[in-house]
């Protein structure tokens, strides 16, 4: 009977568990995922320390450094040394609790992921702008591996997707018999988790996703330097066409930052056919410095506006051809932008001489809708004067050279 294999991860559902930070040495140099997820021997001089980011119940098995680096108790370390001595390195670490504890560096790398049996795999492609990752996996869902390719490895990482930590069934059984805490086991061998019909549907969805990404990515790069390093968590679900909510950061001339939605023009996932979704994407640009773009007010504002656009067909219909003003929650927004009612106003669809009106996708045209934040007095003026007030605000913005840019620190035009 073929050996069964399991993905080893931390059981994050244990109530009151501790959370561990990034291992570091006596000089506070960090030894995290860049060192211990390469699936290669590591050189560490001196003893490491692992901070406890969130105090709680100590576990025999934890993943430190945001779920990347295994830290284990002596009980687990002993089993690994006995059963898989050629697969791991162990480094003693100090943790703020009675030990001993060890960092586990898995040094075996096996090319074993079964693309056909796995639920879904995606690869980094040249158009993604990460030449160092081309040919490796950008995501793996419902992983299945081919046991025939594993050889004598007992504990290993998977080639092209180092985040996965795999153990053989006898290792899993030994850990369970020892009563270790903190570990979760997910089988990665056996029948495929999806049916042939589901697999064909996934294949079509992947192809549609490739087409849309291949069209939008190059367009974003015509607007400036697309930030490939910034990590803005993709939100899965909601009312966006393909159920994936994505935002991108584009750095432009003169210190400007352009934030855009990247998914309102996705295909509709329920239909599995080519389309441009809602037929629009949103763009908010500022020339004010942003220390941490991923946590900035412009991104928060863009997220809230995008949610309103995705939820309401009436809003989308008006945006496809014209202008629209909108109010969203002012929670956690800068005080100068927030009205007495706790709201923030925006003007959508303002024409710009510096941004294109839209772009072409394989399935049709997409409008690029600008988002300009309004100061409270400007919003009040617009609400009081309607379309005439809106046109006057547009004239004044252009007259003062503000255009579509969003700023906090400026004088109101109304």
pLDDT (tens digit per residue) in 247-299: 999 999 999 999 999 999 999 988 889 999 999 999 999 999 988 888 899 99
Residue 405 covered by a domain: no
pLDDT at 130: 79
Q: Is 121 in the same domain as 245?
A: no
What digits encode the pLDDT tens for the residues 141-194? 899 999 999 999 999 999 999 999 999 999 999 999 999 999 999 999 988 878
Residue 205 covered by a domain: no
Whole-number CA gyration radius for the chain: 26
Q: What is the dihedral of CA 215, 220, 221, 227, to 10 degrees?
A: -120
Residue 195 covered by a domain: no
Low-confidence ranges of the chain (pLDDT < 50): none
Residue 200 covered by a domain: no
Q: Is 122 in the same domain as 33?
A: yes
Q: pTM value?
A: 0.64
pLDDT at 194: 81
pLDDT at 1: 62
Q: Is 163 in the same domain as 291?
A: no
Q: Is 157 in the same domain as 247?
A: no
pLDDT at 121: 87
Cis-peptide, bond into residue 100, ω within 30° of zero: yes
Q: Is 272 in the same domain as 165?
A: no
pLDDT at 231: 60
| Structural domain harbouring 51 | 5-187
SS3 state at 72: strand
Q: Is 289 in the same domain as 385?
A: yes
Residue 28 covered by a domain: yes
Report the distance separating Cα 93 and Cα 75, nearest Å: 14
Q: Is 246 in the same domain as 383?
A: yes
Q: Of 242, 222, 260, which is closest to residue 369 (Cα–Cα)?
A: 260
pLDDT at 127: 67
The residue from 140, 157, 187 where one domain ends is: 187
In terms of residues, how long is the chain?
Answer: 414
Q: Is 141 in the same domain as 269?
A: no
Tokens linked to 124: 């980094």
What digits encode the pLDDT tens for the residues 379-393? 999 999 988 988 999
Q: Is 304 in the same domain as 363?
A: yes
DSSP calls for 267-316:
PPTTTTS---TTSEEEEEEE-S--S-GGGSHHHHHHHHHHHHHHH-HHHH
Residue 410 covered by a domain: no
Residue 194 covered by a domain: no
Share of the chain above pLDDT 70, in %: 99
Quick check: 45 and 61 in contact, CB under 8 A?
no
Long-range Cβ contacts of 334-343 (<8 Å, 24+ apart): 334/297, 334/408, 336/375, 336/408, 336/409, 337/297, 337/373, 337/375, 337/376, 337/408, 338/376, 339/376, 339/379, 339/380, 340/376
Q: Is 28 in the same domain as 82?
A: yes
Q: Is 15 in the same domain as 150?
A: yes
pLDDT at 202: 81
Residue 414 covered by a domain: no
The residue from 139, 162, 187 where one domain ends is: 187
pLDDT at 67: 87
Q: Is 315 in the same domain as 379?
A: yes
The number of domains in the chain is 2
């Amino acid at each position: 009977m073929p050996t069964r294999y399991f993905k080893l991860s931390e059981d994050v559902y244990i109530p009151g568990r501790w959370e561990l930070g990034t291992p570091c040495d006596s000089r506070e140099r960090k030894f995290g995922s860049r060192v211990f997820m390469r699936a290669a021997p590591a050189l560490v001089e001196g003893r490491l320390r692992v901070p406890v980011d969130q105090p709680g119940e100590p576990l025999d098995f934890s993943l430190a450094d945001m779920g990347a680096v295994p830290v284990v108790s002596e009980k687990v370390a002993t089993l690994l040394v006995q059963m898989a001595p050629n697969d791991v390195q162990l480094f003693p670490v100090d943790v703020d609790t009675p030990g001993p504890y060890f960092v586990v560096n898995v040094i075996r790398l096996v090319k074993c992921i079964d693309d056909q049996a796995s639920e879904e795999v995606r690869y980094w492609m040249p158009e993604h702008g990460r030449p160092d990752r081309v040919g490796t996996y950008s995501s793996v869902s419902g992983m299945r591996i081919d046991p025939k390719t594993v050889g004598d490895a007992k504990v290993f990482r998977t080639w092209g997707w180092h985040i996965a930590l795999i153990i053989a069934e006898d290792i899993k059984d030994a850990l369970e018999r020892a009563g270790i805490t903190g570990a979760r086991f997910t089988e990665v061998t056996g029948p495929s988790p999806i049916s042939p019909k589901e697999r064909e549907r996934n294949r079509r969805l992947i192809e549609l996703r490739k087409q849309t990404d291949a069209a939008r990515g190059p367009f974003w790069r015509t607007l400036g330097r697309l930030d490939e390093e910034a990590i803005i968590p993709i939100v899965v679900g909601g009312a966006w066409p393909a159920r994936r909510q994505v935002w991108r950061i584009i750095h432009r001339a003169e210190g400007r930052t352009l934030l855009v939605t990247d998914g309102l023009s996705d295909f509709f996932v329920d239909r599995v056919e080519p389309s441009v979704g809602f037929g629009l994407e949103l763009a908010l640009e500022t020339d004010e410095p942003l220390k941490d773009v991923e946590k900035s007010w412009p991104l928060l504002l863009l997220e809230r506006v995008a949610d309103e656009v995705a939820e309401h067909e009436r809003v989308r219909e008006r945006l496809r051809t014209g202008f629209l003003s909108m109010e969203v929650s002012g929670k956690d927004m800068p005080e100068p932008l927030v009205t007495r009612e706790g709201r923030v106003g925006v003007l959508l669809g303002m024409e710009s001489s510096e941004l294109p009106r839209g772009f072409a996708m394989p399935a049709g045209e997409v409008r690029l809708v600008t988002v300009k934040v309004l100061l409270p007095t400007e919003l009040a003026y617009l609400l009081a004067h309607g379309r005439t007030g809106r046109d006057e605000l547009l004239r004044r913005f252009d007259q003062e050279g503000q255009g579509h840019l969003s700023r906090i620190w400026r004088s109101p035009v109304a």
